């Protein structure tokens, strides 16, 4: 039996993960009304900007680490100003690289179809906002490290509402580009809000950081971003496979279907990503026997719920797809069914990932999560596209998670038997 106190802190964490995914889902549902290729064009913009995505997350992570370490000495405005300066500089560098590389990548993936036209119309608006996204990420994570997570969550709810309202107006006025104009407006508002709140919270000027801080911070961001590039590149490669195997008219529907699937996966798996972080936190400091008891109880209590959710998604996938994105045919249907079937596996994976992370086994988790897409998912997608069989390609959502689950279970069992020490302790 799991006590209610075990779940304290999970609802805000869950809401934070889901809100970001919900905004993406709102975008996809609205641009889907613009016709064939719009969903693929939206996904194309986000898929080619792998450097931007990885570096934005890295800037937030490094900010969290630096400010958390500085709490004992009281974080000052000068430290925050230097962090924001570094974030802006990294953003400008990423924007310059993106302005040169992303249009070329779009032309390479979708040279003459409607998806490429949609993506090309919005890519420079997206790239121009890169410095804003970097500084916003630093500011938001600064608020988290300053103990204002509840405030951030409240603002994220406001963001989602504002984004939906702006989408309705700007997409009707400017079409596909309007969605990205709305994103830039929301990002500017979020940045201004975060900076105003932080200046009210942090009243101490503080001392300047030691010489070389900016170079060290930016170097750390670049190193941290390399960890996020592997999964980003794997997702990009899967999308590239769909683009290369395009054969009109079926190919465009296939590409739109896969773009919709990728967006829906972000929303469907957000609760499980939040659960992984939460379980890692809750399992920390507990004995192996206690962790084993908790995993068993959580599996027995959670698995039936996940099975019911999976069944509902599998049965209603076509109606859901039609309501959100229009009729996307067998490729959406097959991938949505595979995603539904994978949910119980992913819940078990979240428990085992949390258990391993709580013992510092970061490398074991990272190895599996990085290798599985490349070794299992991509070959299955390529084979399914070559045979034009969605039932083969959709195994890319099931087989990698099953392999990861087996890997995690063996690592977890080894840890219980005392065969492996904590990686954090070893370091």
Q: Tens digit of pLDDT for each residue in 244-275?
A: 876 545 556 788 888 889 889 988 888 998 88
Instruction: Give the integer Cα–Cα distance in Å for 200 and 192.
Output: 13
Q: How far is CA 227 from the centre of its chain?
A: 13
Mean pLDDT score, 417-422: 49
Confidence of residue 202 (pLDDT cuts 50, 70, 90): confident
Decide which of 348 and 362 is more confident: 348
Domain ranges of the chain: 1-228, 245-427
What confidence score (pLDDT) does residue 331 get?
A: 92
The pTM of this model reads 0.81
Instruction: Give the integer Cα–Cα distance in Å for 339 and 313.
Output: 9
Torsion-angle region of 37 (φ positive above 0: left; ψ -120 to 50: alpha; else: beta): left
CB–CB of 394/384 below 8 Å?
yes
Q: Is the peptide bond before 249 cis (omega within 30 degrees of 0)?
A: yes
Q: How far is CA 294 from the centre of its chain?
A: 27
Confidence of residue 423 (pLDDT cuts 50, 70, 90): very low
Q: pLDDT tens digits, residue range 105-146?
A: 998 887 767 888 999 999 999 999 999 999 999 998 888 878
Confidence of residue 282 (pLDDT cuts 50, 70, 90): confident
∠ CA(249), CA(250), CA(254), 5° rounding? 125
Q: Decide if pLDDT at 72 tops 60.
A: no
Nearby residues of 240 by Cβ (< 8 Å), 6 or more positions away: 47, 109
Q: Decide if pLDDT at 426 tops 50.
A: no
Q: Please give the full DSSP string across 211-246, using - where no structure is assigned.
A: TTHHHHHHHHHHHHHHHHHHHHHHHHHHHHHHHHT-
Task: Give me 139's structure tokens.
Answer: 């500011």
What confidence score (pLDDT) does residue 337 get?
A: 94
What confidence score (pLDDT) does residue 421 get?
A: 43
| Other CB atoms within 10 A of residue 289 CB | 9
């Amino acid at each position: 039996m799991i006590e209610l106190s075990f779940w304290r802190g999970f609802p805000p964490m869950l809401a934070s993960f889901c809100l970001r995914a919900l905004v993406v889902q709102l975008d996809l549902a609205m641009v889907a009304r613009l016709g064939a290729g719009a969903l693929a064009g939206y996904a194309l913009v986000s898929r080619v900007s792998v450097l931007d995505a990885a570096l934005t997350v890295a800037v937030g992570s490094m900010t969290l680490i630096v400010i958390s370490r500085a709490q004992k000495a009281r974080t000052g405005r000068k430290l925050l100003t230097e962090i924001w300066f570094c974030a802006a500089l990294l953003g400008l560098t990423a924007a310059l690289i993106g302005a040169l590389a992303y249009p070329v990548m779009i032309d390479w993936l979708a040279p003459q179809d409607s998806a490429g036209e949609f993506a090309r119309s919005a890519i420079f608006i997206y790239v121009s906002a890169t410095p804003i996204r970097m500084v916003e990420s630093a500011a938001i994570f600064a608020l988290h490290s300053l103990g204002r997570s509840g405030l951030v969550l409240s603002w994220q709810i406001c963001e989602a509402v504002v984004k939906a309202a702006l989408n309705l107006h700007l997409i009707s006025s400017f079409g596909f580009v309007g969605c990205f104009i709305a994103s830039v407006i929301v990002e500017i508002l979020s940045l201004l809000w975060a900076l105003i709140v932080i200046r009210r919270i942090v009243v101490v000027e503080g001392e300047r950081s030691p010489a070389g801080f900016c170079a060290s911070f930016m170097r750390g961001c670049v190193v941290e971003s390399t960890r996020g590039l592997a999964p980003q590149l794997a997702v990009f490669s899967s999308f590239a496979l769909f683009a290369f195997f395009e054969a009109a008219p079926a190919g465009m529907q296939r590409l739109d279907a896969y773009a919709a699937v990728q967006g829906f996966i972000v929303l469907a798996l957000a609760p499980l990503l939040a659960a992984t972080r939460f379980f890692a936190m809750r399992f920390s400091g507990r004995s192996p026997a206690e962790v084993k008891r908790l995993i068993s109880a959580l599996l027995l209590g959670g698995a039936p719920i996940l099975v019911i959710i999976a069944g509902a998604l599998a049965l209603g996938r076509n109606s859901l797809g039609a309501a959100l994105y229009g009729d996307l045919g067998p490729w959406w249907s097959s991938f949505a069914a595979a995603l539904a079937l994978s949910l119980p596996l992913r819940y078990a994976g979240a428990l085992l990932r949390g258990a391993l992370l709580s013992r510092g086994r970061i490398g074991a988790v990272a190895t599996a999560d990085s290798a599985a897409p490349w070794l299992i998912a991509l070959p299955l997608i390529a084979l399914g596209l070559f045979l034009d069989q969605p039932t083969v390609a959709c195994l890319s959502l099931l087989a990698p998670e099953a392999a990861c689950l087996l890997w995690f279970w063996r690592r977890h069992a080894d840890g219980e038997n005392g065969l492996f020490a904590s990686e954090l302790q070893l370091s």
